Structure 1
Amino acid sequence: MARIGWIGLGNMGNPMSQNLVKAGHEVIVWNRTKSKADEVIAAGATWGASPKEVAAKSDFIFTMVADGPTLHAVTLGKDSIVEGLSAGKIVIDMSTVSPAESEKVNEAVESKGAKLIRGPVTGSTVLAQNAGLGILASGDKATYDKVLPLFETLGKNQFYLGSGEEARVLKLAINTMIASTMQIQAEAVVLSEKAGLDVGQVCEVIAGSAVGSPLCGYKKAVITEGVYAPAFSVKLMMKDLDLAFEAAKQYGVPMTATAITRQSLAAAAATGRAEKDFSVLTQVLEDASGYKR
């Protein structure tokens, strides 16, 4: 069994780290808010006093945090992961960050004789709990092969994409499609509602039609009930789209549909919905259309 460190115990990190504990691994965890570690510790993990301590006591160090600045803080700052690294250790970052943010972390990790695997995920909190995530990975192939058994504990679909920042780019590209899908579905649902159709039936038909997707299925009940608990918040989706725009600028790609969706998310945030699930775009459009359920 492996000695694993895990940093970041939010909606995704908590169930993912628990799956490693359940698989019998020795897991040490750290989170900025210690109380968020209670559930994982109760499952059998131990607490580390700092990212530095977690790295020093682990062979594999996972990070799953909200954004690039947070990743840099836990990786490069005071009492950080890099300070606890030694040659041969492997850092696996599963956060959604930009290629430029990732490159800075990679340089620091490799300066200690360690390796970085980029491993952002696709899937919901439910899939995180059920070990059903998709994992997009890039970095040194031999290092990836060492990490793969741990990835297989966390998710059912594994994709090795290349030796550099390829996983970062594809993760951002996928999130632009996820966000835009919810914008298009919002338009279809509100048009149908205003014409007198039942929202639950509309969502069911969409999910089972040619335009349906697993995402439409996941969000069917959320939109039908109109209760948008944050599986993936508006705030985080805006962050990801902004990172996608940076990448698009780097590679010279216009992203017209993504830009429209980003404006709708901004409207959601401006009306007090920044912490709601991003599927709240349906409610935003209902309001803009003067429709009340």
Structure 2
Amino acid sequence: MNIGFIGLGAMGQVIVPRLLGAGYQVTGWNRTAERAAPLIEQGMLWANTPAAAAAASDVVFSIVTDGGAVRSVALGENGIIFGLEKGGIYIDMGTIAPDVTRSLAATFAEHGIAMLDAPLSGSPVTVEQGNASLMIGGDKAAFERVEPVLRAIGPKVTYIGASGQAHVMKLAVNSLLMVEVIAFGEAVALAEKSGVDRDVALDAVLKSVTAAPVLGYRGPFILEDKMPDVPLADVTLQQKDMILVLEMARKSGSPVPLAAAANEMMNACRGLGIDRNDFVVAHQVYRRLGGQPVDEKLQGIRSST
């Protein structure tokens, strides 16, 4: 299969090399063309529009910021739908509202194209390590056709169900992720205020039964001068997912009090002006609430998104 890839941001930068390494021809497009340069050096082909990338491909992936961006690259002027031939497969890997996916899938189906929702659980770090997991929603026969391609991206691939159901599951997983990371920051701040050094508290957490992969690679960011200049997911990006969680919960009538509390901590990060950092920075909100100063070097770190 020839692969099209739309969106060459932080995740695209690590996913495309895995596809190239698996032997696929990849044709990419990004809104800012300069992001493609390092991937072109590795063998990726460049297209001037999403439609052009799709025309050169059997399967097209997209991973862009939100539902509006997905609609734009999929159905907008020179969108994917105008290049991908009947019988092709379009796979969206972003995290968007399930209803948006179902609407897009219906439009693609009218053109004889199957659309799968395939949100990825993990960060650029986990993708590079080969530990990312993908959840798939949509036509099962289409999924079975592209399963080898998906496994080139991450070894843990789970078919969830009908169109939109993978996004439902991804939002549920992201809710759990947020609550866990926020609770981690709360626990470390409590230990700090009670006299335990921050690095000692972090080490103890990572050696305890509460340790999880996300804390293994994100936890160290809370140490002095360890916050990355380019966040894995800054407060604004992560809060976008939490707002989707809260809306999905409202529509389904499912209570999510812990998710709501985690979302409020993102608001607090914005209030303190530290929202350009990775969202684990919520630990600093707990420090401030406990009468400790916010680390000054966190101010002004900008997101790549």
In the alignment, is residue 287 of structure 1 matched against residue 293 of structure 2? no
1:237-252 matches, cutoff 5 A: 237-252=238-253
Tell me if structure 1 keeps the 8 A contact 2:64–2:94: yes
Alignment partner of 1:98 is 2:93:
no
Matched ranges for 1:1-293 at <5 A? 2-229=1-228, 230-292=231-293
SS at match of 1:29: strand
Aligned length: 292
User: For the residues of structure 1 that align with 2:275 and 2:32, how far apart are their CA atoms?
Assistant: 21
Counterpart residue identity of residue 207, structure 2 = G
CA contact (8 A) 2:101 2:163 kept: no
CA contact (8 A) 2:105 2:163 kept: no
Q: How many Å separate the matches in 1 of 2:273 and 2:45?
A: 37
Give the AA of the match of 1:186.
Answer: G
Which consecutive unaligned segments of at least 5 residues does structure 2 have? 296-305
Shift of 1:226: 5.0
Ranges of 4+ aligned residues in structure 1 off by more than 3 Å? none
Secondary structure of 2:10's aligned partner: coil
Q: Any conservation in 1 of the 2:198–2:223 contact (CA below 8 Å)?
A: yes
Deviation at 1:104, TM superposition (A): 1.8
The TM-score normalised by the length of structure 1 is 0.96
| Residues 227 and 270 of structure 1, relative CA distance in 2, 3 Å threshold | farther
* Equivalent residue letter for 1:33: T
1:231–1:277 contact (8 Å) kept in structure 2: yes
Root mean square deviation, CA, Å: 1.3
Query: How far 1:270 sits from its partner (Å)?
Result: 2.6
Q: Deviations over 1:98-149 (max 9, x none)?
A: 1111112112211110101110011121111233210111111111011110
Q: Are 1:204 and 1:220, in contact at CA under 8 Å, matched by a contact in 2?
A: no
The answer on whether the counterparts of 1:16 and 1:131 sit within 8 Å (CA) in structure 2 is no
TM-score by length of 2: 0.92
- Give % identity: 33
Task: Report the Cα distance in structure 2 between the residues aligned to 1:99 and 1:154, rounded to whole angstroms.
Answer: 22
Amino acid at match of 2:227: Y
Could you list the runs of 5+ residues in structure 1 that have no partner in the other structure? none
- Amino acid of the residue matched to residue 253 of structure 1? S
